Amino acid sequence: MRFGINSFLFTSPFTNDSTKLFKTFKKWGFDTVEIPIEDPSHIDPAHVRKELDKAGLACGSVCACMGPGRDFRGSDKDQATAMTYCKALVDQAAVLGCPNIIGPIYSVVGLIGAHEDDVKKQHFALVVKNLKELADYAATKGITLCVEPLNRFETDFCNTCDQGLKLIKAVGKKNVKLHLDTFHMNIEEKNQAASILKAGKHLAHFHACGSDRGTPGNDHIDWKPIVGALKQIGYNGDVVIESFTTDVKVIARAAAIWRKMEPTRNEIAVKGLANLNKFFGKKK
């Protein structure tokens, strides 16, 4: 099991110049970096891979940023735009030596509404169709798609582990797995540990976030049963801190971060990693 950090805590968008963060991440003790690629034109993946190797880090996951116009349940144009974008992420992940594309790989973030049942069925069918195509393409590059349920304020399509598992089953591809996040689960799940156990072998990526998007472990979440559940299912993927602060204005606005969650963002990373090492019994 490796511990990682999502670069949104420090920068948006991630560019070639952002690789200067890698040395610090390594110094703090992280094993991997999770890179959100807002636009494939922002990076040269070969350069980023070189800088990762130089720092002694790995790119554990590329985070899909499903912004406006990228929607697998939207118009024909939006579906095509989303497919072009996601296939480009797959290509870049392959160059980065990254095994996973993660996030809400199904719909534009922020689309919410009380859709009628027939509309929901149409949306589901569209997402399944598109994910099948994307999964087949990703398989040619050895890439896994990790679908993340988000909370009700960010999507009305997939909020829970059960809904994520239903989607994965309908897609029916070996390289389509589940991505769970303690922040979203804290809102949507009755019991986080039980959801992890239910996900079982389908869980391929995990975000460790504070209940307020701050430092994991400096919150009210009961981490002991969560860690126990991950160990019980034999989870050996990355555990990534994905927290946001007011320092990165674009992300703060998108994630509704209106106040400081912790004194500094460095503290979120450093103390968060120390807490994860303690929770999982890893010595550093």
- What confidence tens digit (pLDDT) does each residue in 139-157 have? 999 999 999 999 999 999 9
CB 178 within 8 A of CB 147: yes
pLDDT of 163 reads 98
Q: Does the structure show a pLDDT above 70 at 223?
A: yes
Place 257 in a pLDDT band, splitting at 50, 70 and 90: confident
Q: Which two tokens stand for residue 105?
A: 């790989």
Closest CA to 258 of 267, 249, 271: 249
Question: Vertex 47, ends 274 and 43: CA angle to 5°?
Answer: 85
Give 67-81 as a DSSP string.
Answer: -TT--TTS-HHHHHH
Per mean pLDDT, which range of 201-215, 223-237, 253-267 is the poorest?
253-267
The burial of 181, by beta-carbon neighbours within 10 Å (0-12 exposed, 13-18 middle, 19 or more buried), is given as buried
pLDDT at residue number 261: 82
Nearest to 101 by CA among 40, 21, 170, 186: 40
Distance (Å, rounded) from C-alpha 33 to C-alpha 5? 5
User: What average pLDDT score do residues 104-129 get?
Assistant: 96
Q: Which residues contact 211 (CB under 8 A, 6 or more apart)?
A: 182, 183, 186, 219, 220, 221
Mean pLDDT of the chain: 95
The Cβ of residue 267 has, within 10 Å, a number of other Cβ atoms equal to: 15
| Global model pTM greater than 0.85 | yes
Residues spanned by the domain of 252: 2-280
CA 71 to chain centre: 17
Domain count, the chain: 1
Nearest to 61 by CA among 138, 153, 114: 138
Mean predicted confidence (pLDDT) in 9-27? 97
Distance CA 80, CA 220 (A): 41
Range scoring the smallest mean pLDDT among 165-174, 248-257, 274-283? 248-257
283 torsion bin: left (phi>0), alpha (psi -120 to 50), beta (else): beta
Instruction: Please say if the pLDDT value at position 199 is more than 60.
Output: yes
Dump pLDDT digits (tens) for 26-70: 999 999 999 999 999 999 999 999 999 999 999 999 999 999 999
Using a pLDDT cut of 90, give the percent of the chain over it. Answer: 89
User: Could you read off the pLDDT of 232-254 as tens digits, one per residue?
Assistant: 999 999 999 998 877 777 777 77
- Rounded to 10°, the helix 161-171/117-139 angle is 60
**Residue 284: pLDDT band with limits 50, 70, 90:** low
Question: By percentage, how much of the chain surpasses pLDDT 70?
Answer: 99
pLDDT beyond 60 at 207 = yes
How is 210-263 classified by DSSP, letter by letter?
-TTSS-TTSSS--HHHHHHHHHHTT--SEEEE----TTSHHHHHHTT--S-SSS
What is the average pLDDT across 258-278? 90
The CA distance from 21 to 132, in Å, is 35
CATH number at residue 186: 3.20.20.150
Say how far apart CA 31 and CA 3 lie, in whole Å. 6
What mean pLDDT comes out for the span 151-169?
Answer: 97
